[in-house]
Amino acid sequence: MFDRPALTDEQITQALEARYGLAVSALEFLALGHDANAWTFRATTTGDEALFVKIRRHVDPVRLRLVRFLEEQGQAAVVAPIPALDGALSVAIGELHLVAYPFVDARVAADVGLSDNQWIEYGRAAAALHATRLPGDLAPALPVETFQPAWGHVIDRLHAAAAAYRDEDPARLELAAFWRANGAAIQQLRLRADELGRHLRSRHEGGGLAQFVPCHADLHTHNLFVEAGGGLRVFDWDEAMLAPRERDLMFVAGSPIGLAPGDPELRLFEAGYGGLDIDPETLAYYHIDWAVQDIASYGQQVMLDDISVESRAYALRLVLSIFEPDGEFEVARRHDRLSGPGAAEGELPAQERGS
């Protein structure tokens, strides 16, 4: 996002110097990503070493330990945090947290594309992650998939806020009008996520689901980087968890996110992965839950959060893009229809009908 955290450059520099023993010569704010709870910087030391510095409202030490473990196991695509002088993988600065990474000379795969060999390598990286056996002190501590959609209460708040909005902010006015026209379809998708989640919880309790595996949980091509020599690196492990492999495979199986891979790319990925056996109901749940999450999180930034006008306008564009033809909303419904009985039906949003 475009807004900076409530920290000065001096506070961040002091933390790097005191906790990491670094002499920082320059610090640059990077307006990257869509997460309103995270901010990124590039730090340069007096020895010309570059660091990628992430500031977050919350960090999960277990997830940071997971990434270090994966790197230590030789998974070359992983970019792990740099330990502080005392071995900590994050340091607190007031109510925020700093995590330092080596700065990788690479470009976002969603921007530069992937060659056939890189699609295959992408599959190999995912397979290596999913095949990882975690140590006994790490596996029980990781978050585990519960199939409990988390954004329904935000959808309800947005529904109420849109109905009541009468102020003059342009982005909020536009979203309120869009929501009043399409709120019923959004609520229907939200309720379908709840329904599928209940069914999957029942299947899991009955032993009907495959064993959970370590998942990145955000493994799309905006978090995949291509190095100058062609190697691939995976960033942003903030959502890592134990889950069905579909949690990661959703980003190559019919996903509209990033490079929006089609059948040729999926076949290349599968060649690297070693064969795919994807459960359609689990895949549908993840696509639906992801669409609901993005509608809610970006909608919250527009209607409910105290952010800059520029960031609010950007978040509005992200919300509306979800409802474009072949966007997340349409793709989620398509996967739901393919998943079997009980699929959601009904009117498409007005924007999709061209009204």
**Spans of all domains in the chain:** 1-103, 152-353
pLDDT at position 340 is: 65
- The average pLDDT across 237-254 equals 96
Q: Evaluate if pTM is beyond 0.85.
A: yes
345 compared with 71, residue with greater pLDDT: 71
Contact by Cβ (8 Å): 189, 348: no
CATH architecture of 1-103: 2-Layer Sandwich (3.30)
Contact by Cβ (8 Å): 192, 344: yes
Which SS3 state, helix, strand or coil, does residue 185 take? helix
Contact by Cβ (8 Å): 68, 79: no
Whether residue 353 has pLDDT greater than 50: no
Please state which CATH class domain 152-353 belongs to: mainly alpha
- The average pLDDT across 291-307 equals 96
Gap between the Cα atoms of 206 and 218, Å rounded: 27
Contact by Cβ (8 Å): 41, 4: no
Burial of 143 (C-beta count, 10 Å sphere; 0-12/13-18/19+): middle
207-221, 252-266, 336-350: lowest mean pLDDT where?
336-350
pLDDT at position 354 is: 36
User: Comparing 1-103 with 152-353, is the CATH topology the same?
Assistant: no
Start-end of H helices in the chain: 9-20, 61-72, 109-112, 116-130, 152-164, 170-205, 246-249, 263-273, 280-303, 309-321, 328-338, 350-353
pLDDT at position 35 is: 79
pLDDT at position 339 is: 77
Start-end of H helices in 100-151: 109-112, 116-130
Taking only the tens place, the pLDDT of each residue in 256-270 is: 999 999 999 999 999
pLDDT at position 344 is: 52
Taking only the tens place, the pLDDT of each residue in 112-135 is: 999 999 999 999 999 999 999 999
Handedness of CA 24, 30, 32, 34 (dihedral sign): positive
